[in-house]
């Protein structure tokens, strides 16, 4: 959709104008962001918001993120915004950061799941920003990731098409998502910042900007309000098993004796050539967290196609910059291990 200079071409602008008309009439449009594809609807149109929940088969008490086009809209949708939140927004927006703030009267209950807070972000993707501009200054897009509830988020238009094609009014194709993992979600208690979901922005970068530690909220399994915090989430349909390098070899050996079809996804350079057979595929991931994160969901989508009985994954390093990746893989493997 973009030209070599990164500008949107004429065809893209026309498609975005069509998408904006559909949204302003209460339709649902899948659109690209820098993190994952979103399933968007006009925040203030309750019928359109209901469609999102129906399409995703998502419980109605799971709130949606409100996507805005620029900073001036922040105080229209939120109030009593802490200084640290403003500082983070100014530093990281447009970008993969969602702030949970006290909602204003403009945000309907259907979007917040009845809570008095609202999640807000400005996405950093030219198509998303042009779309937000095209729907008009008083509007915003409520958008969860454009996947079925509990499944892997889409990082390309093709991923959305496979699952939601006939259910949405339009899919805007903006190429492959640059980040590939969902936004980091932060909550605020006065000026205290806590991380509700690790994501595209590492915690170390956030701490540098606010100059104090971020509280890590682990194991929120008893709370339902952040759906991505439930233990089993972001999961492929094929059982996914997570093992450290020394165990993955043994497990591959055990399973390959049972004549099952395996895909083994590693990152460390471990030698699995002895498993070369038509039943076993070995896939190598990048060794740095940025590129690993960018390709993770695409790989899971690719191999979650009934060709394999198991996905065996090498556990990534337990380091701060790998936090979001470890979080998603633990949830993806939860029910199988
Ligand atoms: O990168 C992203 O954040 C993508 C793109 C499309 O922006 N969106 C996304 O949305 O991942 P979703 O709905 O799949 O995940 C957003 C998470 C959900 O777990 C939701 O429960 C939580 O954010 N959330 C939204 N509003 C909230 C609120 N007011 N309080 C607590 N959690 C909230
Ligand atoms: Mg999601």
Q: What is the DSSP string of 59-91?
A: -TTS--EEE-SSGGGHHHHEES--HHHHHHHHH
Condensed to tens digits (0 to 9), the pLDDT of residues 226-269 reads 555 555 678 898 999 999 998 999 999 898 888 899 999 999 99
Assigned CATH topology for domain 240-332: Rossmann fold (3.40.50)
Verify whether ligand 1 is closer than 6 Å to residue 82 (CB atom).
Answer: no
Helices (H), the chain: 10-24, 46-56, 74-77, 83-92, 109-112, 126-135, 157-164, 203-210, 245-257, 289-303, 323-333
Verify whether ligand 1 is closer than 6 Å to residue 147 (CB atom).
Answer: no
Architecture field, domain 10-221: Alpha-Beta Complex (3.90)
The Cα–Cα gap between 135 and 144 comes to 18
Structure pTM? 0.94
Terminal-to-terminal C-alpha distance of the chain? 41
The Cα–Cα gap between 264 and 181 comes to 21
Q: Cα dihedral angle (250, 252, 257, 263), rounded to 10 degrees?
A: 180
| Contact partners, residue 217, CB within 8 Å, separation at least 6 | 187, 194, 195, 196, 229
Is pLDDT at 224 greater than 50 in this prediction? no
Alpha carbon 13 to its chain centroid, in Å, reads 25
Strand partners, 212: none
Query: Looking at the CA of 97, which ligand is closest?
Result: 1
Confidence of residue 221 (pLDDT cuts 50, 70, 90): very low
Ligand 1 centroid distance, CA of 3 (Å): 31
Ligand 2 centroid distance, CA of 332 (Å): 13
Paired tokens of 116: 């008095």
The domain spans of the chain are 10-221, 240-332
| Mean pLDDT calculated for residue range 198-220 | 90
3-state helix, strand, coil in the chain (%, to 5): 35, 20, 45
Verify whether ligand 1 is closer than 6 Å to residue 101 (CB atom).
Answer: no
Ligand 2 centroid distance, CA of 153 (Å): 6
Condensed to tens digits (0 to 9), the pLDDT of residues 293-316 reads 999 999 999 999 888 999 999 999
10-221 and 240-332, same CATH topology? no
Q: Which of 145, 146, 223 to mutate to test the pocket of ligand 1 (most atoms within 8 A of CB)?
A: 145
Verify whether ligand 1 is closer than 6 Å to residue 201 (CB atom).
Answer: no
What are the DSSP E strand ranges found in 112-156?
Answer: 117-121, 141-142
- pLDDT in the model for residue 223: 44
Verify whether ligand 1 is closer than 6 Å to residue 117 (CB atom).
Answer: yes
């Amino acid at each position: 959709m973009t030209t070599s200079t990164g500008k949107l071409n004429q065809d893209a602008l026309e498609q975005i104008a069509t998408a904006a008309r559909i949204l302003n009439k209460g339709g649902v449009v899948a659109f690209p962001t820098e993190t994952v594809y979103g399933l968007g609807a006009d925040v203030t149109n309750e019928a359109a918001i209901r469609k999102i929940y129906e399409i995703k088969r998502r419980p109605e008490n799971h709130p949606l993120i409100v996507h805005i086009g620029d900073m001036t809209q922040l105080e229209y949708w939120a109030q009593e915004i802490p200084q640290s939140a403003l500082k983070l927004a100014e530093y990281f927006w447009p970008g993969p950061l969602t702030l949970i703030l006290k909602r204003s009267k403009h945000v309907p209950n259907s979007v917040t799941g009845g809570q008095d807070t609202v999640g807000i972000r400005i996405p950093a993707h030219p198509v998303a920003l042009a779309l937000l501009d095209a729907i008009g200054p008083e509007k915003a897009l409520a958008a969860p990731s454009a996947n079925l509830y509990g499944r892997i988020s889409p990082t390309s238009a093709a991923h959305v098409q496979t699952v939601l094609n006939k259910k949405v009014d339009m899919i805007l194709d903006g190429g492959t998502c640059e980040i590939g993992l969902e936004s980091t979600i932060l909550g605020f208690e006065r000026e205290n910042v806590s991380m509700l979901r690790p994501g595209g922005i590492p915690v170390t970068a956030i701490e540098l900007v606010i100059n104090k530690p971020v509280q890590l909220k682990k194991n929120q399994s008893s709370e339902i309000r952040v759906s991505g915090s439930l233990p089993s989430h972001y999961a492929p349909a094929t059982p996914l098993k997570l093992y450290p390098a020394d165990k993955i070899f043994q497990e591959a050996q055990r399973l390959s004796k049972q004549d099952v079809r395996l895909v083994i996804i590693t990152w460390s350079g471990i030698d699995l050539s002895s498993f070369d057979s038509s039943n076993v595929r070995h896939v190598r991931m990048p060794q740095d967290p940025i590129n690993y994160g960018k390709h993770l969901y695409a790989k899971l989508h690719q191999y979650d196609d009934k060709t394999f009985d198991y996905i065996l994954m090498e556990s990534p390093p337990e380091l701060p910059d790998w936090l979001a990746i470890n979080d998603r893989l633990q949830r993806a493997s939860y029910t199988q291990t």
